Each structure stands twice: as structure tokens, then as C-alpha cells.
Chains A and B, each alone.
Chain A
């Protein structure tokens, strides 16, 4: 275990999150434009995130009648911070991890579970109807995302006999977990999209609620909130790459390059789901989660235990 200086760890996580958010935003625009049939506008996708950010920054912030201003302002900051915590435990290569703890998997799970909390004040604090419904809807469904997500994540610790992410990547030396524990990655990504409320499971901020918890947000607040959501998607992709796709393992290229390629691939898959897959209805998702996804996740843990005997 190499000791990283604190400033280097913070700078590394900030840089990774910034790059991840930018790539996710570009991928979102590019896939959206392709699906909509627009062609030959790659330059627009590359510059799009900066234009959107600049527009949000110069926009005035609209407010509502008697909001809880402090909790409202805190929500996007907390969400972005928790996404950064989740990113910080994922190893880039064998020797480069921002926060190298023995229970890295649990720290990631704790950051994901805590990220449910800021979504509620983001909707509740604005004192407005649609954001309020989005906030309550998210808390009501939070366990339906958390359970399959955590169970799928825990399955990778069984073959590695460890909760440290370095050991988990090393344990995939012969066979990646995506092959060894085949149900893990799809379950993890689907439930992870739910925790970052993206694509088919964008329930608290969905279009049926006029934007849900972000319906009343504008300007810098909306920029921070969008950044946080993309950062959370990036954290999920990075963890998926490390836990299921063998992390830095791979031929020819250096380890860091493999990790980046795998992370970006998962990120594009997650981001594209918004344009390619229909939204599920909230109450149907709960039934799907408890009747199908959670039992499958338990089966997945048993499979992981069986293959590592």
C-alpha cells in the first residue's frame, strides 16, 4: 500500500470527476443527436457541455415562495461530494488509488446509500408540488435500487475473499467477473442507474413530473445538480469497470489506459440508456425490483460463492 499525499489524491479525484462528467455530457449529446437523426454535428457535441454550463451560470436563479434556502443549496453540493467519495475508492492501476482502504467496497456502498439523502431536500426544500412528489417518490423507491445494487456489488467480494478493491481486481486475473458472475454487471448497472436516477429509471426527476426534484431549479443550482448526476454515473461506471471488467488488467496497453477505456465504455452504455430505453412506471419498478431483481441478486451471490469454491 503506497501512501499518496493528500493533495495529490484530492487533485486526482477532482480531475477524474471533471473528465468523467465532461465525457458523460458529450456522450449524452452525441447519442441524443444520433437517435434524433441529426448528422455531421460532432463539434456541437464537444462544445455543448461548455455552452450549457455557461448559459446556466449567467442565468438568474429563480426561486419559489418560502423555500428552505439552505437545505436547497446544500443538496447538489452534497450529491456531488458523495459522487466524488464514491470515485475516490476505485483504483486506477495496481498502485494508484486515491483512498486505499481495506473496506473500499463498503465505502462505495455507503456513499451510494448516502447519496439518496440529498435528493429528498433538493425536491422538498423548494416548497413546490412537483419537486415534492419527486422527492417522496425517490425515498419510497430508494430501497428498490439500493438492495439489488449492493447485493450485486457484494457478489464480487466473494471470489476475492476481500472487500478491498485492489484484491477484487487482482482476483479477476484469470477470468473477469462479468463472465464468472454473469448476473452481477447488468444488475449493478440497472440499479445504479436508478440510484443516479437516469434513463429508464429516472423516477424522481422524470419528465412525467415536469423535471421532478429539479423542476424549480435554475442557473448555477441546475448546473451543480446536473454535474452531480453525471458524476454519480461516472462513479458507477468506474466501479463497474473495476469490479466486473477486470479494472487495469488487459494486454498490450498500460493498466491505466485499460481502466479508462472500460470506464468510458460503461459510461456510454449508461448515458445512452436515456435515449434508447423507455421509462418504467414507478410502481411497476418496485414490483420488478422486489420480485425479480432482488431474488436474482441473491442467486448471483450464491453463484459467486459456488464458483469460488
Chain B
């Protein structure tokens, strides 16, 4: 891959500036979803900078990983937030003083490193980077990366065990009944039962954990969504989005 140095310089400045601008937009937008995608755009621009340094494989693997990662992160943020489906506008900036102080400190530290550090002034000679990377991963750095990999695998297994429908808390669908067709009954399966209303506030949380959400939430809002879902897909899926 041969390119003229001018083109590389133009690309460097374009993608560098774009990564900063999209990073800034993360805090200027009013939506969690848009913020996640701006953050993804910022990372992708950094990925292109890696490409300009001729680390083709690292750049592509960064882009590949970030794509799935940011999508999943966005979903997790939305799940744990009291902002149904991320559709309501919200402020993305909090704790202004601490944030400003932290930002200035981080900028000074990084700029200081940039001023003090000695950067190589010769371009690296072209070599098979991917091969060198593979040798490094299976050579000197093997212990570090394999340990990290095993730890991550254990975390994944544990997370799946917790989230699985047949996980440690039993079946996720136990106690979940079809919603009532008649507003006077609690559920379609069982007749109305008097029940204390104190759990009503936790309906969203319980729905999210997949435990017993049909029992005390039969009469609240969002039945349009829940009703459609139950008729088509047997108690599963998106029925946690009940109105709040």
C-alpha cells in the first residue's frame, strides 16, 4: 500500500478532528442512543488513525470489536435507565465542577506527556505487522493475554448463567401470566386476587430481572405492547417496556 505523504497527512487531520468532534458531540446530544453512536463514531475515527500508521490488523479488529461492543453497551444503558427505550430527551452532562476539573487535569497531563516525551522521527519500516503481532501474542505476552482471556471467559460464563432463562433463580417465566382481557381480572389465567400494592413501583425492575412480573403488574400501563407480545410470542421478549 503506497500513498503519497500529503494524502496521509490530510487523512490524519480529517479523521483526528472528526474523532474529537464526535467525542464532543457525545456530551452535546440529548439522547443516550445518539451519545452511544457518537462515541462509536469517535472510536471508528481512531481506528482509521491506526490504519494510517499501517497497523492494518489492529485497526480493523478495533473497528470490528467496537461495533458490537457499543451496540451492546447502548442497550445495557437503556435497560438500566428510567428512560423507556431511550426515546425521552435527557441531559448528558452531570456534576459540572468535578467534570470540568477532571477534564482540565486529564488534558494537562496528556498535553504534558505530549510535550515532554520523545517521539520517533523516522517512519517505521514496512514489515508484516499482523505476523509480528501473532508472534507477540503467542510469545512473550502469552501469559498476560491468556490470563486476561481466561478471566473474561469466566466472566462471560457467569453473566450467561445469571441471565439465562434457566439460571440460578429458576425459570424466568415462572409466575408470568398472560395479561387480562377483562380489566376486572388480574390475569387471563387466574381470577383477581387482592394483593398489596407496595410492589407496584418496582414493576420495571422486576420485569427486567425476569422474575415474577406477571403477578403484581397485571393492571398497569403498557398493555398494548405487552398484549401484542404475549399473543405472539408466549410471555417473552419486550414486555418489560411497560409504561412508567
Contact = CB atoms under 8 A, between A and B. Distances in A.
Interface of A: 3, 68, 71, 101-103, 106-107, 109-110, 113-114, 116-117, 120-121, 124, 127, 129, 132-133, 136-137, 139-140, 142-143, 146, 163, 208, 281-283, 290
* Interface pairs A-B: 10 shortest CB-CB: A110-B64, A113-B67, A106-B60, A114-B67, A110-B63, A113-B64, A103-B57, A110-B60, A133-B238, A139-B71
B15 interface: no
Interface string B220-244: 0000110001001100111000000
A116 B67 contact: yes
Contacts of A116: 67-68, 71
B60 A139 contact: no
Interface in B59-95: 60-61, 63-65, 67-68, 70-72, 74-75, 85-87
Given A102-B130, A114-B64, A117-B40, 19 more contacts: A68-B34, A101-B1, A102-B56, A107-B60, A109-B60, A110-B63, A114-B44, A117-B67, A117-B71, A124-B85, A124-B86, A124-B87, A133-B225, A139-B75, A142-B72, A146-B68, A208-B233, A283-B236, A283-B237
A97 B61 CA distance: 21
Nearest to A120: B71
7 contacts: A71-B34, A101-B56, A102-B128, A106-B57, A117-B67, A132-B87, A142-B68
Task: Bin the interface of chain B by size.
Answer: 35 or more
B56 A282 contact: no
Contact of B67 (A110, A124, A163): A110
Nearest to A135: B85
Contacts of A121: 33, 37
Contact of B238 (A127, A136, A143, A146): A136
Contact of B85 (A110, A136, A163): A136
A163 to B, nearest CB: 7
B238 A117 contact: no
A109 B57 CA distance: 12
A109 B7 CA distance: 26
Given A113-B64, A146-B68, A282-B237, A127 B87 contact: yes
A146 B67 CA distance: 11
A110 B2 CA distance: 23
A142 B71 contact: yes
Nearest to A66: B87
Nearest to A162: B130
A132 B85 contact: yes
Interface in B143-182: 160, 165
B179 to A, nearest CB: 16
B225 A129 contact: yes
A109 B130 contact: no
Q: Give chain B's interface secondary structure class.
A: helix
Q: Tell me which of A109, A114, A121 has the highest count of chain B C-beta atoms within 10 A of its own C-beta.
A: A114
A283 B210 CA distance: 14
B1 to A, nearest CB: 7
B51 to A, nearest CB: 10
A13 B238 CA distance: 39
B69 to A, nearest CB: 10
A39 B130 CA distance: 54
Contacts of A113: 63-65, 67-68
A113 B67 CA distance: 6
Contacts of A140: 75
Contact of A139 (B31, B72, B87, B160): B72
Interface string B45-58: 00000000000110
Contacts of A139: 71-72, 74-75
A224 to B, nearest CB: 19
A305 to B, nearest CB: 14
A281 B236 CA distance: 11
A102 B18 CA distance: 26
Contacts of B130: 102-103, 163
A211 to B, nearest CB: 14
Nearest to A107: B60
A137 B238 contact: yes
A103 B65 CA distance: 15
B240 to A, nearest CB: 10
Contacts of B236: 283
A3 B1 CA distance: 9
Q: Tell me which of B1, B34, B64, B233 has the highest count of chain A C-beta atoms within 10 A of its own C-beta.
A: B64
A308 to B, nearest CB: 16
A68 B31 CA distance: 11
A136 B34 contact: no
